[in-house]
Amino acid sequence: MLSGFARSRKFAAPSYRGDLKTQPAFKPPDLDPNLPLLEAYFASEVGRAPEGIRNYHHEDPVAAVVRESATPASVLVLIVEHPDALRVLLTRRHADISYPGQICFPGGRADPGDASVEATALREAHEEIDLDPSLVRILGRLGDYYTQSGFRVTPVVGVVEPPLALTANPREVAEILEVPLKALTRAASYQIWRRVPERSQAFYAMEHGDVRLTGPTVCIAMGFYEALAGASSPVP
C-alpha cells in the first residue's frame, strides 16, 4: 500500500479532534431501521437514482478540477442481519499503515478488471476481511462522495446473514467491528469539532462507545442517514 493520504489505495481521512466539541444542527428524525425500510428505499425512484453525498465538514469544497479527474473507488456498507438487530460492519486500520487506527467501511479504489462499483466493493471486502462475495445481497448504491484527495467514492449497501467466517488481512486490518445500524441513525451520535481560535473550519464525527467515525466515513454515514430519513433541511 502506498503511504500518504492522497496517494493511498484507501481514502480514509486522519482522525481529528478539534478544540471545541459541540452538538451540531444535524437533526434528521431518529430512526430504528429494519430490512423492509432499506429494501423499500433502494427500490424507490429516489433510491435508484441517488443524489451525491455532500461533504458535511466545514471546509473548502472539493475543487472542480479535482472532481473531474477523481479516481473511482467504492466502499461496502455491509448490514449484518442479526435476529435481534441490524448491525453495520466496519474495520479498524492496521497500526503499520497510513492513518493507523482509523475506523472505516471496507473498500478502496477500482481496479481495471472490476466490472462495476459493486464488484470493486465486494473485491475489496474479500481482500480485507475474507468476505465471501456470494453471501452478500446488494440492496443498492448511495450517491457518490468526492474526497479532497481526489477520489470519487461510491458506497454500495449490501446485507448478509450471520454467522460469518471473517479473517482480517493482517497487512491492512487490525480489527473487524460491528455497530448497531440505529447508532448511525440517531442525531445525538454526531458531534462537530471546531478549531480554536480558527473556528471557520469544523469536522464532524460519529461516536458510539469506542467507535469513532471521521473523514469521508462519517460523511457517508450521514448521507446514508439523511437518505433513509428523507431529511431535506440543510445541515450548516
Report the DSSP beta bridge partners of residue 107.
Answer: 75
- CB crowding 170-207: b at 16 or more within 10 Å, else e: eebbbebbbbbbbbbbbbebbbbbbeeeeeeebbbbbb
**Cell numbers representing residue 43 in the block:** 427500490
pLDDT tens per residue across all 236 residues of the chain:
222 233 344 544 444 445 666 666 688 999 999 999 999 999 999 999 999 999 999 888 999 999 999 999 999 999 999 999 999 999 999 877 776 789 999 999 999 999 999 999 999 999 999 999 999 999 999 999 999 999 999 999 999 999 999 999 999 999 999 999 999 999 999 998 876 666 667 899 999 999 999 999 999 999 999 999 984 334 44
Domain 20-229 fold is Nucleoside Triphosphate Pyrophosphohydrolase (3.90.79)
How much is the pLDDT for 193?
85
Q: Which of 220, 224, 175, 184 is nearest to 57 (CA)?
A: 220
Q: Is the dihedral of CA 89, 11, 8, 21 positive or negative?
A: negative
Cell numbers 430504528: residue: 32
User: Looking at residue 54, what DSSP letter applies?
Assistant: P
How much is the pLDDT for 58?
87
Say if CB 156 and CB 117 are below 8 A apart. Answer: yes
Q: How many CB atoms lie within 10 A of CB 28?
A: 20
Task: Report the C-alpha gap between 59 and 121 in whole angstroms.
Answer: 28
Task: Report the C-alpha gap between 50 and 181 in whole angstroms.
Answer: 20
Task: Report the C-alpha gap between 228 and 74 in whole angstroms.
Answer: 20
Q: Is the dihedral of CA 31, 32, 36, 42 positive or negative?
A: positive
- CB crowding 80-111: b at 16 or more within 10 Å, else e: beeeeebbbbbbbbbeebbbeebbbbbbbbbe
Say if CB 154 and CB 117 are below 8 A apart. Answer: yes
